A and B are shown apart, each in its own frame.
Chain A
Amino acid sequence: MTAVAVRLVRLHAASRRLPAALVLLVACAAGLRGALYGHWDSYGALQLPLIFEAACAAIIAVTAGSPFGDPERATGWRLLYLRLGSAVTLTGLAVAALAAAGTGLPLAGGLPDILRNVAGLTGIGLLCATVLGGPLAWTGPLTYLVAGAYGLYTDWHPPALSTPWLWPARPPHDVGGALCAAVVFAGGLAAFTVRGARASAGG
């Protein structure tokens, strides 16, 4: 990698507040670790990781916003790789941080659950960034958080919600839920890579 490329990546990361996002992802992981020491009832223990997964996804989605708006779109094809790389890297780091936070503690669902939920929620956030703009990209993952938490609640209080599109309510190794989350993540990633976050006046 050339010095120019490194500088380009560094400037892109700075413009998207990626260092702050990394700090917050680590803070979320630490929060999950601390919360796992608490005593929660059955569905509380199931819902707990989802809250931190949604927080990570919202943070990743918010970094999608560009401070430069439309002029940046004319800078060339490398922007696509920068968007793709930043989103995939942050998602991977979020999964790794949350998985590490759960090591040695009773984390409901384990790594498969974290991977599926973070990917799916990030996909929703990236889609929201494309449609609403980076600053409002949190609306999708956090709205979905409420629905997902309710889906987990219905596992104890029937009738249970069984649609795979509400993947947090499905078991960790459920293929349907994983496929839906993967489709949403791929869709969000593709839309964000190609179009970028919508330029927002409210930014």
Chain B
Amino acid sequence: MTATSAAAAVRPGAARRGTGTVILGSGRLLRLELRHNAMLWLLPVAFALFWYNGYREIMALPPMWNLRAMTLQNRLLLDLVVPVTGAAAWMGSREGRRGLADLVAVTARPRWSRQLATWAATTAWAEIGCLACIAVVYLMTARQASWGGPLWWPAVVSVTGVPMLTAIGFAAGAWFPGRFVTPLVMVVVFFGLAFGTQAASGDHSYWQISPLTAGAVDIGAAPGVATFYPYLPDLSIAQVMFTAGLTVAVLGALGLPAARMRWLAAVIAAAGLAAAGTAVALAGTGRLDPHGMIVIPALHDAASNQPARYTPACSRTPIPVCVHPAYAGVLPAVTAAVAPELTEFAGLPGAPARISQVAPVYRQEPGNAAAVGGGGSSAAAVVLPDQEPGWLGTTVTEFDAQLDQGLGLQLASDVILGGDGQQSGSAPSQAQLAVIAGSVRFPPSVQSRDLAPMYGRLLPQPGSPADRAARRFAALPPAARHAWLAGHLAALRAGRVSLAQLP
């Protein structure tokens, strides 16, 4: 029997043992790499960066799942990019840096296999760090949110972005194992991630593929997005496809120098590139839907267009104000801002029996802008401003000012001018303007330049006799204003009340 025939007659049991040995050996190699990995030592840096840059900002947002999950996607990878890419480049350059390339070339395992084990160990530690950050944010939000559940797609995009960072860093380190490569690749990746999002413009931009882009570029994480309608995963799916494709492509390219596996490596790299390219092309077909999210027709599930079901949270005010339960936290601020108006107008003709929050409607504008509209022609259906207290540093005073300029004025004009008066398009009388101005309380932060567009239309000119009458009327308590309106509203609407007759 020759050696060749003996090898050909290997028994199945021996083959199974051989496979088992390979798996065992790979496991042992991975364990060794996990124990001697730079990423483990850089995890505290990753956590510190995330706490300083991301966590505090996310936790300062109102406790809404959409806001926090989408902001997490926007921040997490950027905070991880330096420690993760740096550790991967450092590990990738290890053999070259220590002059071990020739020494380990004679080991039983091919170079590609050894590199993949090192990359896998680096990625495993980085993923542990990434998942820990996500877990903390989601656990805290679960304890604070008044409605809804975790949005998983933003987290999935971040999780799949980590192997992409490690693959790029590792490959750069392996190909150019010099002392300058690690910092340079980190800077290049940081620049690409941080500034890649700035190149995006409009809803058709290919740059939306950046894993930091959560939702529409022009809108981002806004309270009205993914609240009244489910979160659309279209863009997230394309982003996952892109990051996974790029990871596979880079890892495949690592194997190209291996003579025996060159074809396999080339096929893997080409498949990865094809996936990443397809994802970029898909992102370019996106369009902004009326609910503030990006729809990609090829990936879109029409079932996602159904509105979310919820039971509104209502206030116990003379005119109940009902909001989406996710906004329950701001309901006290809403009712406090318009409390005098609710008391004054309750039960009067033209006043709504109930004020209900409705979904905002988003529309893509030319260039890099989006318009937010929605709501009805009366105060019965209202769109709350996106600038909630806590959102990007918005204060309660600023929120109150927006509500008074929107809801407060709408309520007053509904009652004072009436539906017919608004439709007829006739200019309101000075007495009507005085009563409207005397009924709505603007916070001191609202300046005359904010109100200027409404002078003559809903508010009297400053310093005019109507303005002085408005100040007189505003000095009355809400109950007294209500009593006067109950007796004089019909005459006021008909234009039969002069400024001198106002209390």
Query: Interface with A: B175-183, B250-258, B277-285, which one?
Result: B175-183
B479 close to chain A: CB less than 8 A: no
Q: Assuming A20-B180, A202-B97, is B52 touching A142 (CB within 8 A)?
A: no
Q: A62-B179, A135-B97 are in contact. Are A51 and B190 (CB under 8 A)?
A: yes
* Beta-carbon contact of B179 and A65 below 8 Å: yes
Q: Closest approach, in angstroms, between the C-beta of A152 and any C-beta of chain B?
A: 11
Stretch at the interface among B78-86, B102-110, B135-143, B327-335: B78-86
The CA of A7 and the CA of B374, in the complex, are separated in Å by 76
Docked pose: A51 CA to B195 CA in angstroms: 11
Give the docked Cα–Cα distance between A148 and B131 (Å).
Answer: 25
Distance in Å: Cβ of A182 to nearest Cβ of chain B:
23
Known: A138-B86, A142-B187, A143-B49. A157 touches B180 (CB 8 A): no
One digit per residue, 1 when the CB lies within 8 angstroms of any chain A CB and 0 when it does not, for chain B 75-104 equals 000110111001000100010011000000
A63 to B83, CA, bound (A): 20
Give the docked Cα–Cα distance between A194 and B460 (Å): 74
Majority SS at the chain B contact face? helix
Given contacts A139-B86, A145-B190, A147-B52, contact A17 B79 (CB under 8 A): no
Which residues of the partner chain A approach B94 to less than 8 Å between Cβ atoms?
A: 202
Per-residue A-contact encoding for B129-155, CB less than 8 Å = 1, 0 else: 000000000000000000000000000
Once the chains bind, are A143 and B82 in contact (CB under 8 Å)?
Answer: yes
Binds B, one of A40-48, A88-96, A98-106, A168-176: A40-48
Contacts of A143 in B (CB 8 A): 45, 49, 82-83
CB of A51 within 8 A of CB of B191, answer yes
Say yes or no: is A181 at the interface (Cβ < 8 Å to chain B): no
B52, A150: Cβ atoms closer than 8 Å? yes
The answer, yes or no, to whether A76 is at the interface (CB within 8 Å) is no
Q: Which of A52-60, A78-86, A108-116 contacts B (4 or more CB under 8 A)?
A: A52-60
Residues of A close to B194: CB separation below 8 A = 47, 51, 149
Is the C-beta of B184 less than 8 angstroms from some C-beta in chain A?
A: yes
Which B residues touch A149, using CB under 8 A? 194
Residues of A within 8 A of B98 (CB): 202-203
- Give 16 pairs: A residue, B residue, CB < 8 Å, sorted on A: A17-B180, A24-B184, A40-B195, A41-B198, A134-B179, A139-B86, A141-B183, A142-B186, A143-B49, A145-B190, A146-B53, A146-B79, A147-B49, A150-B52, A159-B393, A203-B179
Q: A24-B184, A48-B195, A142-B82 are in contact. List 13 more A-B contacts (CB 8 A).
A: A17-B179, A51-B190, A51-B194, A59-B184, A62-B180, A134-B179, A139-B45, A142-B187, A145-B82, A146-B49, A147-B52, A150-B53, A203-B98
For the complex of A and B, the 4 pairs showing the least CB-CB separation, nearest first, are A158-B393, A58-B183, A138-B183, A150-B53
Spell out B's residues near A (CB within 8 Å).
Answer: 42, 45, 49, 52-53, 57, 78-79, 81-83, 86, 90, 94, 97-98, 178-180, 182-184, 186-187, 190-191, 194-195, 198, 392-393
A residues engaging B (CB < 8 A)?
A: 17, 20-21, 24, 40-41, 44, 47-48, 51, 54-55, 58-59, 62-63, 65, 134-136, 138-139, 141-143, 145-147, 149-150, 157-159, 202-203
